[in-house]
Amino acid sequence: MTRTSPRPRERPEPRIVGTTEYVDFPDWGVASLSARVDTGARTSALHVENVKLLPGSRVRFEVPLRRDDPSARVTVETKVSRRTPVRASTGQTEPRLFVKAHIRLGGLEQLIEVGLVDRRHMLYRMLLGRSALERRFLVDVGKRYVLGAAAGAKVASKNSRALGSGSKRPRDR
């Protein structure tokens, strides 16, 4: 009796991304948020405001969509996935809340863990770290917005599971 070994699982070719790309959070109703791809950061980070811890390991926060319009924001309530100290770009260790979120990058949707931070003084409101990129993407440091251009962050259309600032709770997974 001849025994055949199982076929190795074929992994799709990694997609090329630039140093900056547009990211969607479809469950939160956020589309075309400009993000810095940072292979020096292990985790991803998202600028949020008005963070409030809630009972039952939940958190509510606002995602500002544009600097030029303070009223353009989405309120999100979701489960905290972990709370841990993280070394910030300043070298200081600070406590950070993490949540799980579905993102869409170049048409590919995936679940990642995102740290909730204050990045109001940073050029990019989001950092995409290595853990969100590994085995799926390769970074071409000489390019930006390889996966497509967008007009700026906005609330997604009603057909894409959009949530406005009046939403109480987005879908968790």
Give the 3-state secondary structure of residue 103: strand
Residue 155's pLDDT band (boundaries 50, 70, 90)?
A: low
Cα separation of the two ends of the chain: 45
pLDDT single digits (tens) 19-33:
999 999 999 999 889
- Fill in the DSSP letter of residue 117: E
pTM higher than 0.85 = no
- Residue 48 contacts residue 117 (beta carbons within 8 Å): yes
Answer with the residue of higher pLDDT: 128 or 86. Answer: 128
Using alpha carbons only, give the angle 81, 93, 17 rounded to the nearest 5 degrees: 65
pLDDT at res. 4: 60
Provide the percentage of residues in the chain whose pLDDT is more than 70.
Answer: 80
159 conformational bin, left if phi > 0, alpha if psi -120 to 50, beta if neither = alpha
Answer with the residue of higher pLDDT: 156 or 160. Answer: 156
Q: How many helices (H) and strands (E) does the chain have?
A: 1, 12
Residue 169's pLDDT band (boundaries 50, 70, 90)?
A: very low
Cα–Cα distance list, 41 to 28, 45, 172 (Å): 24, 9, 25
pLDDT at res. 150: 58
**Would you tell me which CATH number, out of the four given (3.40.50.720, 2.30.110.10, 2.40.70.10, 3.40.50.2020), belongs to the domain 15-156?**
2.40.70.10
Q: Is 71 exposed, middle or buried (0-12, 13-18, 19+ CB in 10 A)?
A: exposed
Question: What are residue 40's phi and psi, to 5 degrees?
Answer: -80, -15
Give the 3-state secondary structure of residue 130: helix
